[in-house]
Amino acid sequence: MPIAAPALCALVVLLCAPAGRPRIAEVLYDPAGDDTDREFVELSNPGPTPWPLAGLRLEAGDGSGPGRWSLRWTGGGADTVAGGGRFVIGGARLVPPPHAVVRLDLQNGPDAVRLVWPDGAIETVGYGALEFAEYACGAPAADAASGFSLARIPDESDAGSNALDFRAAVPSPGRANQPGRDAALEPGTLALEPALPEPGAGASLGGSVANRGRGPILSGEVRVLAAASGADGTWPLLETVLGRDLAPGDTARFEAVFAAPPAGRYVLRAALVLAGDENPDDDADSLTIRVGGGPLRLAEIQFHPAAGEGEWVEVRNAAAGPLELADFTLADRGAGGARPSGGEGALAPESLAVLAQSRAALLARFPALDPRRVWQASPWPALNNGDDSTGVADVVVLREADGTPSDRVAYSAAGVPAGVPLEWRDGGWWPATEPAGTPLAPPRALAALRVPLALGKRRVAAAPDAAALAWDLPWPRARIALEVYDLAGHRVARPIVDAAVPARGERAWDTSDLSPGVYVVLMRARPEGAGAGVSATAALRVDGVAP
């Protein structure tokens, strides 16, 4: 229940950490996952002699209004913090076990905690955008993200303001907040490239290392070890060193190449080794990975719909048995994941299904589709239509329920007309051979040509019309450019500008901008990589008079 203490409220504004006494060193109010019995408040004793805590009250403040303080713990006669030591008040699930076990039930902010000593001295630590001055010493500390604590850094900091004394940190109950030596593997920074390597193929693991200690770390002092644990055992992957100096507070990234283990699911664990590291709890992180393709694969991606059907992706069951689509999520390169719903039944091996931004809109656009194999995926990850500076528009990711990747495609939107999806064929992702795509059906097979370049029709109307440009080249993959010239030798159109294409392909080309007359279509093609190129031409006639 709230404690009415009007006589003490004025002291909250005036007093921060009372001199010479134990003080609040760290607060964890929002542990990652379930908060229950994992929150803690840590006290530190800066003096050389033990300090009894009998009668000390720990209170939690509700920053939504003035005077809303509730008792969480009262020190007993046996509670003492050693000289230069720490005393942790926390839940029963805290590791290591706290000195005083209590369910704190702290709010996530903007709120506060305070110590009230038997003689009336008060120390307050507030966090978040607080409206009332009684909930902070000076300015409140910035709110910490879930899983991070607010820690007094450096440990002896006492600047008279929560904002200056406290910052977000990896929780360290019972230990120094900023030890002398501490190399930390930054949580969430591990990244594998490619995300789904093939067995035995080269892969690169990267991550960020931070110096959270008070002293410098020299080049070569930090070793990085990584191993992958799967159903058939553990595979050592790599050992490397961080090849640069790290001043206190600095961060550097490591990258190391290794040979991928056999196909399967693994937990990849990376750990740092630094002689004299005083905080081993922040030395490691893990990543759930897959080597080889997963059970559910991407088959077609519509990222730029033009007929009101919404975005959609087609997926294929590559497993030996049926799959429940509700056990997978769909995401882009942002956070989160869309869960499928609305379809019916398990997906049989080698069968196709569609995950749609709008199930109703897709079925209206393609009424012949089997509605049992069309699933609504919500919340839908909006897919980008334009490339970034790296040549990637977006990344489409399928994951199993435990987060293991099943498939991942980074696609480019360059040269893909609006309304045309990308489809997997001929060993790569290409614009669909059918302009609207082929949901719930395989890509349309292209007939072999007797010449490198052919037109679907050699005569088109001057009114809105289109020509199909088809090619058949002697290499698995190629780069081509298609240009159109009038009989005076002037270039009048460029249907394809130096694009990567499969050996056999087709592209629809809108001829509406051409005036009546005869034109020459020129194709220049070369293999990807080294090798001599080829060229070919075809004639096109535009009939009639444009309206």
Q: Which domains does the chain carry?
A: 6-169 (2.60.40), 183-291 (2.60.40.10), 296-431 (2.60.40), 453-543 (2.60.40.3880)
What pLDDT score was predicted for residue 102?
97
Q: Region 316-337: what's the mean pLDDT?
A: 93
Q: Tokens standing for 58?
A: 């720990």
Kindly report, residue by residue over 479-527, the tens digit of the pLDDT: 999 999 999 999 999 999 998 889 898 888 889 889 999 999 999 999 9
Kindly report, residue by residue over 66-83, the tens digit of the pLDDT: 999 999 999 999 999 999
**pLDDT exceeds cutoff 50 at 174:** yes
High-pLDDT (> 90) share of the chain, %: 78
Q: How confident is the model at residue 6 (pLDDT cuts 50, 70, 90)?
A: very low
Q: How confident is the model at residue 467 (pLDDT cuts 50, 70, 90)?
A: confident
Residue identified by tokens 């909006």 is 382
Q: Tokens standing for 38?
A: 């994992």
- The residues with which 294 forms a beta bridge, in sequence order, are none
Q: Are 284 and 183 in contact (CB under 8 A)?
A: no
Q: Are 516 and 487 in contact (CB under 8 A)?
A: no
Peptide bond into 46 cis (omega under 30): no
Helix (H, G, I), strand (E, B) or coil at 481: strand
What pLDDT score was predicted for residue 1?
40
Kindly report, residue by residue over 104-156, the tens digit of the pLDDT: 999 887 999 999 999 999 999 999 999 999 999 999 999 999 999 999 998 98
Q: Region 322-335: what's the mean pLDDT?
A: 92
Kindly report, residue by residue over 248-262, the tens digit of the pLDDT: 989 999 999 999 999
Q: Where do the DSSP E strands lie in 250-364?
A: 251-259, 264-273, 284-291, 296-302, 312-317, 328-331, 339-341, 352-356
What pLDDT score was predicted for residue 530?
79
What pLDDT score was predicted for residue 477?
87
Q: Where do the DSSP E strands lie in 401-456?
A: 405-411, 422-425, 428-431, 453-455
- CA–CA separation, 145 vs 148, rounded Å? 6
Q: Return the exposure string of 321-345: e unless at least 16 CB atoms fall within 10 Å of the residue's CB, then b.
A: eebebebbbbbbeeeebbbbeebee
- CA–CA separation, 301 vs 421, rounded Å? 5
Q: Tokens standing for 368?
A: 């012949």
Q: How confident is the model at residue 15 (pLDDT cuts 50, 70, 90)?
A: low
Indicate the helix (H) or strand (E) that contains 13: helix 6-14
Q: How confident is the model at residue 14 (pLDDT cuts 50, 70, 90)?
A: very low
Query: Which residues fall within 8 angstroms of residue 64, CB to CB, at 6 or more apart?
Result: none
Kindly report, residue by residue over 392-435, the tens digit of the pLDDT: 999 999 999 988 999 999 999 988 889 999 999 988 999 998 98
Indicate the helix (H) or strand (E) that contains 473: strand 466-486
Q: How confident is the model at residue 529 (pLDDT cuts 50, 70, 90)?
A: confident
